[in-house]
Structure 1
Amino acid sequence: PKARISIAHGQMDEDQLERVMLDFYDNQADILVCTTIIETGLDIPNVNTLIVYDAERFGLAQLYQLRGRVGRSNRIAHAYFCYRKDKVLTETAEKRLAAIREFTELGSGFKIAMRDLEIRGAGNLLGPEQHGQIAAVGFELYCRLLDEAIREKKGEIPPELPEPVIEIPVDAYIPVQYISDTKQKVDIYKKIAAANSREDVEMVNDEIIDRFGTPVPSVANLIDISRIKALAKELGFASITKERTELIGKLHTGLAVDYEKVLLILQKHRSHFRYQVGRPPLFRWKTNLPEMDLLKMVIQSLELLKK
């Protein structure tokens, strides 16, 4: 009964809302009654209890974001997702609430996202419905088949190029000090190996940071090599391997090179890069740099080619 209560919602003017949030942050209020305006971006370590009313009305991603507003320090925190006892929940609402209850460990964002896709389906690209054959073939294969079907309809099926060979001699592994659990370590290795695009790599990187903290140098190298592989695949590289004191990047035969972009690389990395005209043309990077700097240089070069 003596609790100090503040109220926050999106209809308040900016100054008033800021004042309320600062008061709550400074412990001038004990309870904050608010809308989903606090869904993202709020980081108040002292908050240890969240109660969501009519939780069945929220999407799974919203529930996950809301749950993340508590437990942001070393205090034990609790999140209660409530619905009215006389309310008949839909099957989808029950699945969403069951998922948010199931995935409680640190770094569950990726699993939550995948469960959300399973519940809703990947969607109909040509209409508003949420459906698909995800359960039959799995999400990754479903997306690839869908992409191929769309490209075929548009007459855009490109020749399938083999995966690029990336052999860069740097320390790139997950040490036991970073991830001690063998099963978790193998799981992360699998996800990194399965990342076929830059978006996939960044998703895995975000998950690693979310679950295990800032990557140590050898893990950062592992992620950077995965970035290089994804970029090399998009650009049509056959390989990037070390020969003597250089990394040599070879394109697949017949692929054109934009020389203006090559000039951009030369301007940025003049003392460590050279381009050799030929069939195939060769991209040469000197390796007399620290490991992380070398990988960053290759990534920057490939990104300039991709622009």
Structure 2
Amino acid sequence: MLVIGLGGTIAMTGTAGVSPSLSAHDLVDAVPGLAGVDADLDVHTFRSRPGASLTADDVRELAGLLTEGFAGGADGAVVTQGTDTIEETAYVLDLLHRADQPIVVTGAMRNPTLAGADGPANLLASVTVAASRYARGIGCLVVIADEIHAAARVRKRHTTSPAAFVSPDGGPLGYLAEGQVRIVNRPSHRYALPVPRSDRPLPPVGLYTATLGDDGSLLPVLADRLAGLVIAGFGVGHVPETWVTHLQHAAARIPVVLASRTGAGSIATGIYGFPGSERDLLQRGLIPAGMLDAYKARLLLQFLLTTTTDRGALVAAFAEATTP
């Protein structure tokens, strides 16, 4: 089994503010009970950065490394990183992963200098899940606080709590109890990207959130500099009426995806009909994000644009990627 370290709070120490300093080997060596898991660990430090400093290209390179490892016989992988971006990096890994071997992403909310540091427990749980036959075939998972989350569902909902991660749409896939993996909510559908062009740079895709009183005057400026745009609208997918013309013009030039800023539930497609409603915006060319939150919709659009800019193909891909 591969264990890959990217840095993050789980690997941070220091006296005047912590920063990444522990290697992946250091993390593995600090876990009581890890020797009791039936897994031969192949440990590597791939990056040593805060989660906020990771890039989509880092994750794309990591996905290639994992694919090579699986082809070479690895039966699973655990990735340790900063929790700031786990919900996004795990989703990219999920999009790029086609094999049955589980990928488990984990981290820590309390660094190793603190009482009650949760990194060792999360790493032990993650190796246990990655070694389990029950985790095969369901893609990339996030394991924290003995909960097992699907990468496409998971959200960080608290700044400091050790139980910061939730899956608002559907709940966790399972749990660990007494060291045993319990999958109680197996997903019925798994989506993987068409093979993206790794030789192409990832195109710039922006995210703009609707807020009370914003007239949308910045939208044309953003759209002129981007290859794609995600709008995090109010509620089921609404924006101020003053945005409508700006978004219609943008959607005529680049893909514009409509998501919700709420973080749970699906955008609507036909309930409301006023200017700036979801029905109005979709008729003007925006692409529905379905149940994907805006952060994940941005990443899906960015990687899809390495293969196609056709609106019909993008609509179909978003529909497939958000099938329950």
**TM-score, with normalisation over the residues of structure 1?**
0.25
Higher relative contact order (CA 8 A, sep 6+): 2
Rg larger for: 1
- Whose strand proportion is higher, 1 or 2? 2
- Whose helix proportion is higher, 1 or 2? 1
**TM-score, with normalisation over the residues of structure 2?**
0.24
